[in-house]
């Protein structure tokens, strides 16, 4: 059983569709550290939640990185969705020449146990040929960087990224910024959960997590 630490049922729906393990939403509003790096935020959340939960936890910190705005709103995506709204994020992007963007997520796993001595580097294969400038703001995270102090609980990180374009809202599935994020001609809100998982940032991070977790 895995506790998915989030206030967002959409994330749990996607993890449930992807993973063989039983996934339970653990509605714990962990104190988000103010950091430009998704991995740091997720790792802190996982440690705090593990202490409050009864069993292994995963935390998923995600963001939308818009190229024309040098990666904004990135780690501040939740705040911007609440205060500005996705329709106005589209309106702000519309006059720009470049509508490119990327969704990125970092999943942090903690079960209170140590991991193998050598953390695997985060797979950056999918970044080839991309302009990394905006995305790097979201964090070049490794387990080592977020290892924390000597008595900090070990946390394992899994990163996923997907490129796309900001478009006028279409579709009523998904959640958050999905209606304004187009990938391969379709917005994430026009996809089923399985279709989105097959290409999304979260699907990619979940795939890495599932592969690693199966061997644990
Ligand atoms: O922190 P928790 O409780 O998990 O819930 P949250 O929705 O605030 O989660 P994030 O901080 O990770 O998300 C940042 C923002 O990005 C949005 N977001 C995250 N993943 C998304 C996805 O797959 N599709 C569309 N929007 C997404 C989400 O709605 C927030 O506005």
Cβ 25 vs Cβ 13: under 8 Å:
no
Ligand 1 atom nearest the C-alpha of 14 is 23
For residue 99, count CB atoms less than 10 angstroms from its CB and return exposed for 0-12, middle for 13-18, buried for 19 or more: middle
174 lines ligand 1 (CB under 6 A): yes
Does residue 110 surpass a pLDDT of 50? yes
Q: Which residue has the higher pLDDT, 32 or 122?
A: 32
Percentage of the chain exceeding pLDDT 90: 69
Expressed in angstroms and rounded, the spacing between residue 80 Cα and the centre of ligand 1 is 11
**pTM to 2 decimal places:** 0.86
192 lines ligand 1 (CB under 6 A): no
CATH code of the domain in which 180 resides: 3.90.950.10
Cβ 170 vs Cβ 187: under 8 Å:
yes
Q: Tell me which residue has its CA closest to atom 17 in ligand 1.
A: 176
212 lines ligand 1 (CB under 6 A): no
Q: Left if phi > 0, otherwise alpha if psi is -120 to 50, otherwise beta: which for 128? A: beta
178 lines ligand 1 (CB under 6 A): yes
What pLDDT does 139 receive?
Answer: 40
76 lines ligand 1 (CB under 6 A): no
Does residue 33 surpass a pLDDT of 90? no
Does residue 146 surpass a pLDDT of 90? no
First to last CA, the chain: 14
> Across all residues in the chain, what is the average pLDDT?
86
Q: Tokens standing for 78?
A: 């939740």
Strand stretches in the chain, DSSP E: 2-5, 23-26, 57-66, 73-74, 100-110, 156-166, 181-183, 186-187
Going by C-alpha positions, the residue among 100, 89, 121, 104 that lies closest to residue 41 is 104
Q: Tell me the C-alpha distance between 76 and 128, whole Å.
A: 25
Mean of pLDDT values over 133-154:
50
Q: Say how many domains are in the chain.
A: 1
Q: Which residue has the higher pLDDT, 149 or 215?
A: 215
Q: Tell me the C-alpha distance between 106 and 108, whole Å.
A: 6
Does residue 123 surpass a pLDDT of 50? no
Strand stretches in 139-185, DSSP E: 156-166, 181-183
Please state, in angstroms and as integers, the Cα–Cα distance from residue 64 to each residue in 5, 22, 24, following that order. 20, 28, 25
Q: Tell me which residue has its CA closest to atom 28 in ligand 1.
A: 176
Does residue 148 surpass a pLDDT of 60? no
Does residue 180 surpass a pLDDT of 90? yes
Does residue 201 surpass a pLDDT of 50? yes
Mean of pLDDT values over 108-127:
64
Residue 66: domain span: 2-214
Considering 37, 60, 61, 67, which one is annotated as catalytic? Answer: 61
Cβ 14 vs Cβ 199: under 8 Å:
no
Q: Which residues pair with 165 in a beta bridge?
A: 100, 182
What pLDDT does 65 receive?
Answer: 98
Mean of pLDDT values over 5-10:
93
Expressed in angstroms and rounded, the spacing between residue 63 Cα and the centre of ligand 1 is 6
Beta-sheet pairing, 23-26 with 2-5: parallel
Expressed in angstroms and rounded, the spacing between residue 52 Cα and the centre of ligand 1 is 22
SS3 161: strand
Q: Tell me which residue has its CA closest to atom 18 in ligand 1.
A: 176
Cβ 67 vs Cβ 48: under 8 Å:
no
What pLDDT does 145 receive?
Answer: 43
| pLDDT band with cut points at 50, 70 and 90 for residue 116 | low
From 3, 4, 8, give the residue whose CB has the most ligand 1 atoms within 8 Å, as the site to mutate: 8
């Amino acid at each position: 059983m895995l506790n998915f630490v989030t206030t967002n049922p959409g994330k749990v729906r996607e993890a449930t569709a992807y993973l063989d393990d039983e996934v339970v939403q653990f509605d714990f509003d962990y104190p988000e550290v103010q950091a430009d790096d998704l991995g740091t935020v997720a790792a802190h959340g996982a440690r705090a939640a593990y202490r409050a939960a009864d069993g292994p936890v995963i935390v998923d910190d995600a963001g939308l990185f818009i190229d024309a705005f040098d990666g904004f709103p990135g780690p501040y995506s939740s705040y911007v969705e609440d205060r500005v709204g996705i329709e106005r994020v589209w309106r702000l992007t519309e006059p720009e020449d470049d509508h490119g963007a990327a969704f990125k997520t970092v999943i942090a796993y903690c079960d209170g146990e140590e991991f193998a001595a050598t953390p695997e580097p985060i797979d950056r294969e999918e970044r080839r040929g991309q302009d990394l400038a905006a995305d790097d703001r979201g964090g070049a995270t490794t387990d080592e960087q977020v290892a924390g102090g000597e008595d900090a609980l070990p946390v394992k990180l899994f990163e996923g990224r997907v490129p796309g374009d900001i478009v006028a809202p279409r579709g009523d599935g998904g959640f958050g910024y999905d209606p304004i994020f187009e990938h391969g001609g379709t917005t994430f809100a026009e996809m089923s959960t399985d279709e989105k998982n097959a290409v999304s940032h979260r699907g990619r991070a979940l795939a890495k997590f599932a592969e690693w977790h199966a061997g644990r």
